[in-house]
Amino acid sequence: MSRTDLVARVRDFVEAHCLPLESPAHVHDPAALDAALATLRPIARAQGLYLPQMPVEQGGLGLGWADRAGVFEEAGRSYLGPGALNCAAPDQPNMISLLRQGNGEQQRRYLKPLADGDIRSCFAMTEPAPGAGSDPSMLRTRARRVAHGWVIDGHKWFITGAVDARFCIVLAQTDEGPTQFIVEMDAPGLQLVRAIRAIDPFAIGGHGELRFDACRVSDDAVLGEVGQGLAYAQQRLEPARLAHCMRLTGRARRAVEIAQAYVCERASFGQRLADLQQIQAMVADCHIDLHASRLMTQDCARRMDAGEPVKTESAMTKVFVSEALNRVADRAAQMCGAFGMSEDEPLALILRELRPFRIYDGASELHRATLGRRFLNTASRT
Amino acid sequence: MSRTDLVARVRDFVEAHCLPLESPAHVHDPAALDAALATLRPIARAQGLYLPQMPVEQGGLGLGWADRAGVFEEAGRSYLGPGALNCAAPDQPNMISLLRQGNGEQQRRYLKPLADGDIRSCFAMTEPAPGAGSDPSMLRTRARRVAHGWVIDGHKWFITGAVDARFCIVLAQTDEGPTQFIVEMDAPGLQLVRAIRAIDPFAIGGHGELRFDACRVSDDAVLGEVGQGLAYAQQRLEPARLAHCMRLTGRARRAVEIAQAYVCERASFGQRLADLQQIQAMVADCHIDLHASRLMTQDCARRMDAGEPVKTESAMTKVFVSEALNRVADRAAQMCGAFGMSEDEPLALILRELRPFRIYDGASELHRATLGRRFLNTASRT
Amino acid sequence: MSRTDLVARVRDFVEAHCLPLESPAHVHDPAALDAALATLRPIARAQGLYLPQMPVEQGGLGLGWADRAGVFEEAGRSYLGPGALNCAAPDQPNMISLLRQGNGEQQRRYLKPLADGDIRSCFAMTEPAPGAGSDPSMLRTRARRVAHGWVIDGHKWFITGAVDARFCIVLAQTDEGPTQFIVEMDAPGLQLVRAIRAIDPFAIGGHGELRFDACRVSDDAVLGEVGQGLAYAQQRLEPARLAHCMRLTGRARRAVEIAQAYVCERASFGQRLADLQQIQAMVADCHIDLHASRLMTQDCARRMDAGEPVKTESAMTKVFVSEALNRVADRAAQMCGAFGMSEDEPLALILRELRPFRIYDGASELHRATLGRRFLNTASRT
Amino acid sequence: MSRTDLVARVRDFVEAHCLPLESPAHVHDPAALDAALATLRPIARAQGLYLPQMPVEQGGLGLGWADRAGVFEEAGRSYLGPGALNCAAPDQPNMISLLRQGNGEQQRRYLKPLADGDIRSCFAMTEPAPGAGSDPSMLRTRARRVAHGWVIDGHKWFITGAVDARFCIVLAQTDEGPTQFIVEMDAPGLQLVRAIRAIDPFAIGGHGELRFDACRVSDDAVLGEVGQGLAYAQQRLEPARLAHCMRLTGRARRAVEIAQAYVCERASFGQRLADLQQIQAMVADCHIDLHASRLMTQDCARRMDAGEPVKTESAMTKVFVSEALNRVADRAAQMCGAFGMSEDEPLALILRELRPFRIYDGASELHRATLGRRFLNTASRT
């Protein structure tokens, strides 16, 4: 199946199966969301659309980054699409981490059922003040060595996917440096304090607050090498951001599709809204933003496929795309008036889904400061 | 009590009584919201803060528009404040309509209990496509004369305040032109179809969808003169918008207060967020936007107190203030990172409250087209 | 003559006398500009419009700040207007400095002919790197005491008004702190190196680069008290900025007037440009920006008339107004297409006049950082 | 020579030869500009950099569109670069027109000396109101058949390159439809009325106003087929716009380079400007805008090389790039404070060069309306 065919088939799958299942009843209800995904995954699998990002030997479609772009965008038109294809965060980047850093036993125990869609997982890095927010050097969760294992103490929050996850990959400080551990969610000493209600309504597994109180894990809980956790986290972030850009481009595009259909139907003051120049300009700006977003994402994807460093491109892409998609969704909702503010169509919900993207994975302000310093250092060296 | 004293006392009331009662549990729950208001109103009344906008003879404080500005802003810092003082929409403009157009019996029957806070009301103008959205000339709800009364048929939506309201003021087309009717919500033939879930979480009485199916009302249901409904609606809209500007300026200011406290506490990469120039610039822009918003609102208020026409100033103020306050709340949430996206503090909820203000009472695009034409007509005449 | 009458008469004067004298031939030609002003001043004086900002006893009209706003705006519609009324920078703030800090002899010698329009002056503070740009603490021009006087050494640039000025007020560091000196431009050791070509085409007296090489002045050259120069400079800046806001609001308004006339005439693709919604929206945004700019300026003026501190308001006003007027002029030029880019009408030249206002008297970024810190310090104290 | 090598060599050429020749003395002086180009062209030719866009058989380097992007950008860093390489407008698109539509004799007579750099040319389409501005259907210049030729009457303006051009390609209405004619500038009846001073300071050949008064041309003056002029003009515009995007990206990049060097040197309030977060954010935004601009331009170039239609992509690219580059240059100038407003460095001049790009080749508003309608028509068909 060619890449174009695949994209078209994902589009059809989303139209036929995901959109009809969408419901405001899923808002802040991880269990309902999981149930919908459970319905959709067998269909995606049967249609050959499942696990696009994983190697063929792991049961995936083996797509590279550039080929994922179109597939993830089509899936992302529905908030159910990426989960249905099992390419949603945080399981998608967790699978990559397990593939790269996991040993055979870890892959058998965690990667296999994750790829099969039998379990879910989360990634526990962010901490409440004064711990690690954007700055991982402030990490306060600690793991200390004991006989045959480690004891973890700490406090994490905004851990997306935590509700009903089977395990988490947790980043903790050790005497040898930050380290990744795989901790099963029912481990003694690990408590899911609550699901934090955030503005985005459809996060799979919600956003959890976790406490580790003398949580004991064995030696084989270490994922990758001791002391390399920060390096792993950074390797994880660039592709994770890019996958978000792909999926959310689809989500914003869906808002535009709804708005375009609306303004072609609805009239006011004797004119179809679509015939008003302000509306036309808003539509044009939506497509310009989507076009630029796609090109930046694809450029970064191609560089990643080629093994080039993308530190700068990835940050520029994250800043631009997250802000562009928010503009797109905002215009789309505005074009639909009161209707765009209701939950009768997903416009207002898409606004809420997209807003945190300007913060999660590094706030725009943080990226701008880092990028600016990098460009200025290069300039002054020349 | 001087105006300054009054503003300070409203501020104290909101701090002491409203903010502690705020709760995410009120989201999309009109009954819970009503219960909170029922707790607060006696306190407001006891403190002499109740009904600031109504004449003294109606039990109010008798403030003019200019004096309302500071009071409404302070009340608006909490979503509970305006309701607690009984100066929230839609009851506040409905009281003005009843005061101006209501006869003695109507005032006794509807205005009195409304001012006393014993009942709530709503205003039913907006209709789903192809009816009257922004364009009242598309009004499709019809009232036809029968013996001793009228029969109303039609479909209305986004009727803020409809849930548990005692009556609505409905705008319907008649053979003599658009006309206002007071219809009790339990009238036969009037059905509250549902509460429409919209992005704003704390609308008192929610946003209702109403159907009038051969709804019969008596002659004394007519509010004001038959055929004058559109003129009344327009008279209503200018001050209604201005009161929104006042209240929501307070709401946006509260977001800034929370953000400022946060960035003064929280550090990242070795620096207090408050010491970062991008944060400082965001704070400055928030205050510049608030300052400009207040000055435009106050200027319009002074003109209204002086009896001057404010058609142009009111529209410019609505466009500017609604967009400025959205920028303010967006920056405030952004400054707080993931915390700003959660419902632990009201930042994300304030974002959702403010978003529709760029649409309700006339979308920015509509006002811009109207304003532009007006300025251009003036120019070409000269 | 009432204030309204005065404003109307200034408008008439500008229409009848200033606009017809405007010419692209004045671009970067201070002598031609001076000649035009010499033609206009007697007319302004004869019409009772001259020196609006000076006390009556100095030959002025004695207007307070609030009353100046309308007059300066009307004068500012033409780049010749403020100079014609002798209320242009830098003479206007220099007159205020001489009035406040000058002794009798200094007022006789410098203020009198300045007010009479017989001479021009400049204010020399800014220095090239690494001297004082925005940060006056970096002042490198030094004055050291010698017998009966001072010797000044230093380098200044962007000294607006320097070409053909009779004297400058120069800020120099001394052992007792920064101090203001009045130095005649033909003093030995003071050299006008060149006129710096900058983007703004109509600066009266251009922008000079000055060198002080062992420039000797007598004791009576000190303006005000030794060591108080910085305090004087700061007192000077707030009203100077506000006067710029007033004058340049007029300049931006003129751009809108031209654009409105253009779009009412010109058709494209079968429609008058004025009938296109994008044009209407641009016109509306121009008026909203002008309205907000005026209200901020007037509010600050009223506070200054009342003797209130305006440090914060003045900075917010400078940032907002300078950026708003640039938006206004940019939209006006854009509406006129290629015509707006030509010098056939002053649109492109107005763009160039307004651009530096976002930098001169404190760049927006500097004000934002200062304002942000001030608001945050207030917040954290509470 | 590989494409990368070529780009590097153009960069070196511009650094070594073009930048040192830049001078404010070239502002609005086509003759001085031509003299500088005459100096540079032999060097460019000797270095194998001349005529990158023309086929090898015409003496060019034979680059396709995608390969031109980097070369044009590097050349565009200096306003002298594109002219030095003979790839500047309007000669560059005129060469393409002559190559496509010219017969052997026309190519020998006009294309050859143009490619050799011996003469210059212009393209006369735009007319003053009520003629053809953005809307070619309003064409009022007329050519009527006479024995053995045509007589042209009309009025054109903003004809870039007209001063000292040898010939113009003029678009005129005929009974058979709009038609292109080659008219030598010294033809009887053709008058260069004046050079229009516009905001951009370095247009090669300025912007001319032309009058055709019974201007007689022979039959062989027709370029291409009679009646096909509009189709030719449209074919011309898409690549012409794209070439502008390429060249002006270089010009805006140069502004950033200057600004970066400046903020790395200059300190204020005890800090290097480069260490201030607002500056870092401005630098980051410049690079994000340049990155997105390049990707959109390159995408369009690749499609053109592949023979795909680019009507939509070309318009989106023109709107985005013209606005992005203006933001870039504006930030760069702002970062440099008063220095950025002077002509000591080209920042203020770059601002002036870039401003018209939001208007020339179709104003942003026009493209937005056209794009919006196209997207909406597609949507409603689906």
pLDDT in tens, C87-106: 999 999 999 999 999 999 99
Mutation test of the interface with chain B: which of C303, C366, C376, choosing the one with the most B Cβ atoms within 10 A?
C376
| CB contacts, 8 Å: A288 with chain D | 316, 319-320, 371
Nearest chain D residue to A377, by CA? D264
**Is A129 in Cβ contact with B359 (below 8 Å)?**
no
Q: Assess whether D78 and D143 both reside in one domain.
A: no
Residue C264: pLDDT over 50: yes
Whether the CB-CB separation of C170 and C208 falls below 8 Å is answered with: no
pLDDT digit string, tens, across residues B211-251: 999 999 999 999 999 999 999 998 898 999 999 999 999 99
**Angle subtended by helix axes A229-265 and A91-101, to nearest 10:** 150
pLDDT at C380: 52
Q: Given a cut of 60, is residue A278 above it in pLDDT?
A: yes
Cα–Cα distance, C81 to C78 (Å, whole number): 5
Interchain CB distance below 8 Å, B369 and C283: no
Instruction: Please answer yes or no on whether A278 and C277 come within 8 Å at the CB atom.
Output: yes
How many structural domains is chain A composed of? 3
CB contact under 8 A, A348 and B129: no
With respect to residue D109, please indicate whether it lies within any of the assigned structural domains. no
Q: Which positions in chain A have a beta carbon within 8 angstroms of at least one beta carbon in chain C?
A: 276-278, 281
Picking from D138, D199, D331, D370 by the largest number of C CB atoms within 10 A of its own CB, the best residue to mutate is: D199
Inform me whether the pLDDT recorded for A201 exceeds 50.
yes
Which residues in chain C are contacts of D341 at CB distance < 8 A? 198-200, 355-356, 359-360
- Of C174, C202, C227, the one marking the end of a domain is C227
d(CA A205, CA A277): 42
In the predicted model, what is the mean pLDDT of chain A? 95
Q: For residue D356, say if its preceding peptide bond is cis, omega within 30 degrees of 0.
A: no
Contacts of C263 in chain B (CB under 8 A): 376
Is C381 a residue whose pLDDT tops 70? no
D196 lies in the same domain as D273: no
**Nearest residue of chain D to residue C267 (CA atoms):** D130
Angle at D25 between CA D19 and CA D26, to 5 degrees: 70
CATH number at residue B261: 1.20.140.10
Among chain B, residues having any CB pair with chain C shorter than 8 Å are 257, 260-261, 263-264, 274, 277, 279-285, 287-288, 291-292, 295-296, 299, 313, 316, 319-320, 365, 367-369, 371-373, 375-376, 379-380
- One domain, residues A59 and A188: no
**Judgement on whether residues C173 and C280 belong to the same structural domain of the protein:** no
Enumerate the residues of chain B whose CB falls inside 8 A of the CB of residue C320.
288, 292
Q: Based on the domain organization, do C241 and C259 belong to the same domain? A: yes
Pick A351's closest partner by Cβ from B199, B282, B334: B199
Of C278, C355, C365, the CB nearest to D365: C278
Q: Looking at CA atoms only, how far is residue B354 from chain C in angstroms?
A: 20
The residue among C174, C206, C227 that closes a domain is C227
Question: Could you state, in chain order, the average pLDDT of each consecutive group of 10 residues for chain D (382 residues)?
Answer: 86 98 94 97 98 95 97 98 97 96 97 97 91 79 96 96 98 96 97 96 96 97 96 91 97 98 88 95 98 98 97 97 98 95 93 96 95 87 44
Contacts of C276 in chain A (CB under 8 A): 277
In a domain, B371, yes or no: yes
Nearest to A363 among B334, B351, B358 (CB): B334
- Write out chain C residues lying below 8 Å of D158, CB-based: 338, 342
Q: Under a CB-based contact definition with an 8 Å cutoff, are residues D162 and D91 in contact?
A: no
Instruction: Verify that B24 and B45 share a domain, yes or no.
Output: yes
Q: CA of A142, closest CA in chain B: separation in Å?
A: 19
> C50 — phi, psi (to 5°)?
-80, 140
From chain B, the residues in CB contact with C313 under 8 A are: 291
Question: Residue A381's pLDDT band (boundaries 50, 70, 90)?
Answer: very low
Question: Quick check: bond before B130 cis, omega within 30?
Answer: yes
What is this structure's pTM? 0.97
pLDDT of the residue at C2: 73
Q: Quote the percentage of chain C above a pLDDT of 70.
A: 98
B304 is a domain residue = yes
DSSP conformational letter for D340: H
Chain A residues within an 8 Å CB radius of B368 = 278
Q: By the 8 A CB rule, do A18 and A47 touch?
A: no
| pLDDT above 90 for C271 | no
- Of B69, B88, B107, which residue sits at a domain end? B88
Å between B51 CA and nearest CA of chain C: 29
Domain that holds residue B203: 121-227
Identify the pLDDT of residue A74.
98
Question: What percent of chain A has a predicted confidence (pLDDT) above 90?
Answer: 90
Q: How far is CA D97 from CA A128, D56, D231, in A?
A: 64, 17, 12
Question: For testing the chain C interface, which of D355, D361, D364 should be mutated: the one with the most C CBs within 10 Å?
Answer: D355
Distance CA C123, CA C240 (A): 12
* Average pLDDT rounded to a whole number, residues A37-63: 96
Element (H, E) at A353: helix A347-354
- Banded model confidence at residue C268, pLDDT cuts 50, 70, 90: confident
Q: State how far the Cα of C255 lies from the Cα of C289, in Å rounded to an integer.
A: 13
Instruction: Judge: C134–D355 Cβ closer than 8 Å, yes or no.
Output: no
Asked whether residue B243 is domain-assigned, the answer is yes
Same-domain check for residues D208 and D185: yes
Place of tokens 């981490």: A97
Contacts of A245 in chain D (CB under 8 A): none
Overall average pLDDT of the C275-291 stretch:
98
The nearest CA of chain C is from the CA of A280 a distance in Å of 9
Average pLDDT rounded to a whole number, residues A123-140: 84
Predicted pLDDT at A134: 67
Give backbone dihedrals phi and psi of B182, rounded to 5 degrees, phi first.
-95, 120
pLDDT in tens, A102-122: 999 999 999 999 999 999 999
User: What are the chain C neighbours of D343 within 8 Å (beta carbons)?
Assistant: 196-199
Min CA distance, B288 vs chain D (Å)? 17
CB contact under 8 A, D372 and A264: no
Give the model confidence (pLDDT) of B189-207 as tens digits.
999 999 999 999 999 999 9
Give percent of chain A with pLDDT exceeding 70. Answer: 98
How close is the nearest chain A Cα to the Cα of C276, in Å? 7
CA–CA separation, A49 and A10 (whole Å) = 7
Chains adjacent to D (≥3 CB pairs closer than 8 angstroms): A, B, C
What residues of chain A have any CB closer than 8 angstroms to a CB in chain D?
257, 260-261, 263-264, 274, 277, 279-285, 287-288, 291-292, 295-296, 299, 313, 316, 319-320, 365, 367-369, 371-373, 375-376, 379-380
User: Looking at CA atoms only, how far is residue A21 from chain C in angstroms?
Assistant: 39
pLDDT tens digits for range B150-188: 999 999 999 999 999 999 999 999 999 999 999 999 999
Q: Give the residue-averaged pLDDT of C355-379.
A: 94
Question: Do residues B43 and B75 touch, judged by C-beta distance below 8 A?
Answer: no
Q: Is residue D347 part of a domain?
A: yes
Give domain status of residue D363, yes or no: yes
Q: Note the pLDDT of residue B137.
A: 77
Substitution target in A319, A365, A368, A373 with the highest count of B β-carbons within 10 Å is: A365
Is residue A115 one of the residues assigned to a domain? no
- C281 and A276: CB-CB below 8 Å? no
Q: How far is CA B101 from CA A58, B118, B229, B243, in A?
A: 74, 21, 10, 20
Residue D103 resides in a domain: no
Six-digit token string for C150:
């001072």
Q: What is the pLDDT of residues C142-168, one digit of tens each?
A: 999 999 999 999 999 999 999 999 999
Of the candidates B260, B369, B379, the beta carbon closest to that of C375 is on B260
The percent of residues above 90 in pLDDT, for chain C, comes to 90
What b/e sequence results for D28-46 when a residue is b if at least 16 CB atoms lie within 10 Å of its CB, and e otherwise?
Answer: bbbeebbebbeebbeebbe
Mark whether A205 and A242 lie in a shared domain. Answer: no
Give B379's pLDDT tier (boundaries 50, 70, 90). Answer: low
Residue ranges of chain D whose CB lies within 8 Å of a chain A CB: 257, 260-261, 263-264, 274, 277, 279-285, 287-288, 291-292, 295-296, 299, 313, 316, 319-320, 365, 367-369, 371-373, 375-376, 379-380
Average pLDDT over residues B13-22: 98
Task: Identify which of D330, D376, D336, D335 has the alpha carbon closest to the alpha carbon of residue D357.
Answer: D330
- In the prediction, which pLDDT does B135 show? 74
Based on the fold, state whether residues C142 and C206 are members of the same structural domain.
yes
Give me the residue from A261, A281, A320 closest to D288, CB to CB: A320
D260 and D217 in a single domain? The answer is no
Chain C: nearest CA to D342, how far in angstroms? 4
Using 50, 70 and 90 to split pLDDT, how confident is the model at C256?
very high
**Phi first, then psi: what are they for B22, rounded to 5°?**
-60, 140
> Which tens digit of pLDDT belongs to each residue from B19-52?
999 999 999 999 999 999 999 999 999 999 999 9
- Determine the Cα–Cα distance for residues D144 and C56; give it in Å rounded to an integer: 70
Q: Which chains contact C through at least 3 pairs of Cβ atoms less than 8 Å apart?
A: A, B, D
- C102-129 mean pLDDT: 96
Residues A223 and A356 in one domain: no
CATH code at position A209: 2.40.110.10
Which chain B residue's Cα is nearest to A267?
Answer: B130
Q: What is the CATH number of the domain that holds C60?
A: 1.10.540.10
pLDDT at B69 over 50: yes
C239 with C374, same domain: the answer is yes
D-chain residues near B277 (CB < 8 A): 276-278
Which residues have a Cβ under 8 Å from the Cβ of B170 and sit 6 or more positions away?
B124, B125, B141, B152, B154, B156, B180, B181, B182, B183, B212
CA D302 to chain centre: 20
DSSP calls for A28-43: T-HHHHHHHHHHHHHH
